């Protein structure tokens, strides 16, 4: 009886650990060359000299997503077509010039000249920008400011 109870407790603990683990079953490592062509072009244009740490892909309900992590701390996410959706610089650093649309970059340069863009993400609603100072800006798809937080 004790043996059966011990086995049952061990099984419950094992299932609990498995359920609580940070296991992204859909995440898979892939080669940089397996990214869509325009994602590869984006990386060459803006991160050509950076050393890639890992490239992962994840299947979501909206389609396949890709994430490229560089050894210098930068991260870029792409959608199924290879268009960038998020570019995140390490703390205290800025995303490469040219990634943000000109209207957004001009707004930041004009109203936050001592600041820079630490992270930018985009979707069908527009762009979200986080500045080095921690200020969050939201822009519509045309690059017009919607909100400052």
Q: How many domains does the chain have?
A: 2
Q: What is the CATH number of the domain that holds 43?
A: 3.40.1420.30
Judge whether 72 lies within some domain. yes
Q: For the residues 31-36, what does the mean pLDDT come to?
A: 96
Q: Which domain holds residue 57?
A: 25-88
Q: pTM, whole model, 2 decimals?
A: 0.81
Is 109 a member of any domain? Answer: yes
Residue linked to tokens 């979707």: 123
Under a CB-based contact definition with an 8 Å cutoff, are residues 96 and 90 in contact?
no
In the DSSP assignment, the letter for residue 34 is G
Q: What is the pLDDT of residues 58-117, one digit of tens each?
A: 999 888 999 999 999 999 999 999 999 999 999 999 999 999 999 999 999 999 999 999
Q: Are residues 132 and 83 in the same domain?
A: no
In terms of domains, do 111 and 147 share one? yes
Q: Do the beta carbons of residue 108 and residue 131 sit within 8 Å?
A: yes
The whole-angstrom distance between residue 84's C-alpha and the CA centroid of its chain comes to 9
Residue 14 lies in a domain: no
- E runs forming strands in 6-149: 28-29, 52-60, 63-70, 75-78, 84-88, 117-123, 126-131, 136-139, 145-148
């Amino acid at each position: 009886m004790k043996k059966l109870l011990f086995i049952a407790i061990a099984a419950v603990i094992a299932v609990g650990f498995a359920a609580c683990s940070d296991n992204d079953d859909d995440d898979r490592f892939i080669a940089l060359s397996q990214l869509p062509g325009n994602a590869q072009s984006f990386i060459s244009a803006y991160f050509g000299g950076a050393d890639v740490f890992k490239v992962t892909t994840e299947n979501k309900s909206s389609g396949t997503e890709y994430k490229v992590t560089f050894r210098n701390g930068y991260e870029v996410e792409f959608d199924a077509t290879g268009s960038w959706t998020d570019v995140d610089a390490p703390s205290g650093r800025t995303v490469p010039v040219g990634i943000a649309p000109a209207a957004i970059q001009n707004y930041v340069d004009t109203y936050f000249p001592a600041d820079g863009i630490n992270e930018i993400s985009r979707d069908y609603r527009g762009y979200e920008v986080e500045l080095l100072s921690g200020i969050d800006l939201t822009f519509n798809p045309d690059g017009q400011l919607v909100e400052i937080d």
